[in-house]
């Protein structure tokens, strides 16, 4: 059977699939596969391994009559029309769990960098502008005993919250479901969204991108936050209205932001957030550790192998 992979993946994914006696075609260029090339290659494909940049919709599915599985190399799957896949009897999978800890680490890296103005200090020192110690030089915010707000207490949100215990932080969370373990072990408190905005010193986003969460961080939301609060987004760029974030930062409604994701992605060169000292930027590297990226590729490959052998996938997307 034929497996199409839209980008060269790390680890042993390709060899795993070949060892299972399947043919593999890989888009070797390290860029988004052109749409016309993707539509051409899936015409006789039995399986497709995609990235978040690859749109799987009705047009693609109609063009791929043999397709049995779409294995997304990501936890999120807003690039896939899961309902359309179900209608075409195509199984969809993602890669949860294997990237949880790495993404939580990156979230904390952004949080600490924003709080202690690490990037500003790096630029100052690099440019030779550091002239010596000063009592007022790059004074930042304390993480110790601050209040951490978690919007979306799924796997990654919970991992971020657990790390806060070492900083003796107060933990608040907003989620559709209670997190009993966090409430019992971390004294986490479930609050509504408005209270999360009002009480958090650091607000970390970990919700999926849905119609109900799209641009939920807008100017009205920023107005409800503390003036010295910091926003962290390592989830989905579409959760934040970037124009409103810029306005909120300029007007002093919030203090700073750490971003690993954008809307659109990559961000446009004229995006004013890119030149703000109080915004720390990362190029969507939340899962970019050796173990996580290899694990994601391995899981995607195993899902493909299972489905093509008539076995249930390990991590199906359920709707």
Other CB atoms within 10 A of residue 155 CB: 17
Q: Do domains 2-98+290-308 and 100-281 have the same CATH topology?
A: yes
Q: What is the pLDDT of residue 179?
A: 98
Asked, as a colleague might, if the bond just before 138 is cis with ω within 30 of 0, I would say no
Distance CA(266)–CA(262), nearest Å, equals 7
- pLDDT, tens digit (0-9, with 9 covering 90-100), for 259-270: 999 999 999 999
Percent above pLDDT 70 for the chain: 100
Q: Is the predicted pLDDT of residue 319 greater than 80, yes or no?
A: no
| Superfamily (CATH) of domain 2-98+290-308 | NAD(P)-binding Rossmann-like Domain (3.40.50.720)
Please state at what angle helix 290-308 crosses helix 100-116, rounded to 10 degrees: 150
Q: What is the DSSP letter of 224?
A: T
Q: Is the predicted pLDDT of residue 43 greater than 90, yes or no?
A: yes
Beta bridge partners of 231: 203, 257
- pLDDT, tens digit (0-9, with 9 covering 90-100), for 252-310: 999 999 999 999 999 999 999 999 999 999 999 999 999 999 999 999 999 999 999 99
Burial of 267 (0-12, 13-18, 19+ CB in 10 A): middle
Fold of domain 100-281: Rossmann fold (3.40.50)
Q: Give the DSSP H or E segment for 15.
A: helix 13-19
Mean pLDDT for the stretch of residues 53-63: 97
Percent above pLDDT 90 for the chain: 98
- pLDDT, tens digit (0-9, with 9 covering 90-100), for 138-183: 999 999 999 999 999 999 999 999 999 999 999 999 999 999 999 9
- Does pTM top 0.95 for this prediction? no
Mean pLDDT for the stretch of residues 79-90: 97
Catalytic residue annotation? 236, 265, 284
Domain range summary for the chain, segments of one domain joined by +: 2-98+290-308, 100-281
Mean pLDDT for the stretch of residues 25-40: 97
Burial of 32 (0-12, 13-18, 19+ CB in 10 A): middle
Q: Are 50 and 5 in contact (CB under 8 A)?
A: no
At residue 29, φ and ψ (nearest 5 deg) are -70, 135
Beta bridge partners of 316: 93
- pLDDT, tens digit (0-9, with 9 covering 90-100), for 215-246: 999 999 999 999 999 999 999 999 999 999 99
DSSP secondary structure letters along 39-77 = HHHGGG-SEEEE-TTS-B-HHHHHT-TT--EEEESSS--
């Amino acid at each position: 059977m034929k497996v199409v992979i839209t980008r060269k993946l790390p680890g042993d994914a390709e060899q795993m699939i070949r060892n299972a006696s399947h043919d593999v075609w890989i888009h070797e260029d390290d860029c988004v596969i052109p749409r016309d090339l993707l539509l051409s290659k899936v015409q006789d494909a039995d399986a497709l391994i995609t990235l978040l940049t690859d749109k799987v919709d009705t047009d693609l599915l109609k063009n791929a009559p043999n397709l049995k599985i779409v294995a997304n190399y990501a936890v999120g799957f807003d690039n896939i029309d899961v309902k359309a896949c179900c209608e075409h009897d195509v199984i969809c999978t993602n890669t949860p769990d294997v990237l949880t800890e790495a993404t939580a680490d990156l979230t904390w890296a952004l949080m600490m960098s924003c709080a202690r103005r690490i990037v500003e200090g790096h630029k100052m020192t690099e440019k030779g502008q550091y002239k010596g110690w000063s009592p007022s030089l790059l004074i930042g915010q304390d993480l110790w005993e601050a209040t951490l707000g978690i919007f979306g207490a799924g796997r990654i949100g919970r991992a971020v919250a657990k790390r806060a215990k070492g900083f003796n932080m107060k933990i608040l969370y907003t989620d559709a479901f209670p997190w009993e373990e966090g409430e019992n072990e971390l004294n986490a408190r479930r609050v509504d969204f408005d209270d999360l905005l009002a009480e958090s010193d650091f607000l970390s986003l970990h919700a999926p991108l849905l119609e109900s969460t799209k641009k939920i961080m807008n100017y009205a939301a920023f107005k409800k936050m503390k003036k010295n609060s910091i926003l962290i987004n390592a989830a989905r760029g579409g959760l934040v209205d970037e124009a409103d974030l810029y306005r909120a930062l300029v007007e002093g409604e919030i203090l700073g932001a750490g971003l690993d994701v954008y809307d659109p992605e990559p961000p446009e060169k004229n995006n004013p957030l890119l030149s703000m000292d109080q915004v720390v930027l990362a190029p969507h590297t939340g899962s970019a550790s050796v173990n996580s990226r290899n694990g994601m590729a391995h899981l995607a490959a195993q899902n493909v192998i299972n489905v093509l052998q008539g076995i249930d996938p390990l991590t199906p997307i359920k709707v």
